[in-house]
Structures are given as structure tokens and as C-alpha cells.
Amino acid sequence: MNLGYDGKIAVLDLGDDENRFSPDFLDEFDAHLDEVVGGSAQGLVTTAAGKFYTNGLDLDWLMAHGDQTPWYVNRVQVLLARMLALPVPTAAALPGHAFGAGAMLALAHDFRVMRADRGFFCFPEVDIRIPFTPGMAALIQAKLTPQAAVASMTTGRRFGGRDAEAIGIVDATAPEGAVAAAAVGMLKPLDGKDRGTLGAIKNTMFAQVVATLTNS
């Protein structure tokens, strides 16, 4: 994981593997968010270097630490809640696959850009027999239309970039190699937003979702 800057926009590269949410991954992500919020960045773009944005939950770690499942799920949800209400403009740049909790992380951003010709956005929970937690369902339903929520949550459908844009899951698509730049371009016009005000607005907008994510 690496944090760099494009002008005043922080760009967090999650890595070049599946970028699953191991406890170490979550800790490192949080540390980078601390740096962004504690510094002078005017926005945050998250992206990845490989064919995955992130595949979400670290199922191998969960299988090896089943007794820690409630702690782990809460840890993931706290990060999603933090991202949702982060007091700077945010955009997820998806150069490839975003599955499960990884797709939820993308939705927790203010905006999303996806590669047009490759990669899928997918909630596979219905097919892998893992129901959504109340917090995760609340997050998805807060960000998507009812039609898009049903289409993505109940079917396990894999949305390519153009289909995801058409149904409103992502805000835009871009060619290979241009996804992160497009996401940065979305945030640059938002330069100078007061963090206190923006954070208060997001916390008000998503108060019920944040409460459900952090209390479940």
C-alpha cells in the first residue's frame, strides 16, 4: 500500500494483489487515512495497481480465526463507516475487480470511476451464502437506487464498467490507465471545501448508516 499525491489530491494505491482486508491491511489503511485527515490534502482517491481493486474480506484469515469473526466484521464495518463520513472529498478508482466488502468500500466513497472494458463490480453474497449484515445492507441501500440495490444485492450479478455506470453504481468509466486520473479530475473542482462543514454534512447524511455499521 502506498500513499502519494497528485497536486493537492492524495492517491492511495492499495496494492497489486487481491488486496483483501486482512487485519494488517485494515490497520495500514486506517493509518493512511490518519495521514490524509491530519495533513493538507484536499481530497482522497483510492485505487490499485493490479487487476483487482479489492476482493474484500480475507476469508482465509477468517477460516483460521473463526473465534474472532465478530471482532473482524466489526473492524471492517468501522472502516467503512469512517470512509463514508471522511471530511474530505473521496473517489474510488476501480482499475479491476471489486467484490463483496471491496465493492462496499468503493460505495463508501463519494464518487466512483471504473475501467470501461475490464473488471467486475459484484456482491456475491447470495451465491456464497453469506447474508449482508444490517450495516452493510444499509450502506449499499444508502448509495444505490432501490432498483440498483435489488439488482446487485439479490442476484450476484457481475457488472462490467459500462453496465455499472448505466445503473448508477459508478459515476463514470475510463479507459485502461486513465481511471485514477479521471477520479482525481472529479475531486479537483472540490478543492478548498471546509473539512468541519463537509464532515458534519456527511455525518448528518449518513448518520443512520454509520450508527448501524458501528453498533452491529
Query: For the chain, what are the domain ranges?
Result: 2-215
Q: Which pLDDT belongs to residue 146?
A: 98
Q: Please report, in angstroms and rounded to a whole number, the separation of the first and last CA atoms in the chain.
A: 28
Q: Which pLDDT belongs to residue 31?
A: 98
Q: Which pLDDT belongs to residue 216?
A: 59
List the one residue out of 2, 104, 103, 100 whose CA is nearest residue 45.
2
The CATH number corresponding to 2-215 among 3.90.226.10, 3.40.140.10, 3.40.30.10, 2.40.180.10 equals 3.90.226.10
Tell me the pLDDT of the chain (216 aa) as tens digits: 999 999 999 999 999 999 999 999 999 999 999 999 999 999 999 999 989 999 999 999 999 999 999 999 999 999 999 999 999 999 999 999 999 999 999 999 999 999 999 999 999 999 999 999 999 999 999 999 999 999 999 999 999 999 999 999 999 999 999 999 999 999 999 999 999 999 999 999 999 999 999 985
Q: Which pLDDT belongs to residue 24?
A: 97
Secondary structure, 3-state, the chain: CEEEEECCEEEEECCCCCCCECHHHHHHHHHHHHHHHHCCCCEEEEECCCCEEECCECHHHHHHCHHHHHHHHHHHHHHHHHHHCCCCCEEEEECCEEECHHHHHHHCCCEEEEECCCCCEECCHHHHCCCCCHHHHHHHHHHCCHHHHHHHHCCCCEECHHHHHHHCCCCEEECCCCHHHHHHHHHHHHCCCCHHHHHHHHHHHCHHHHHHHHHC
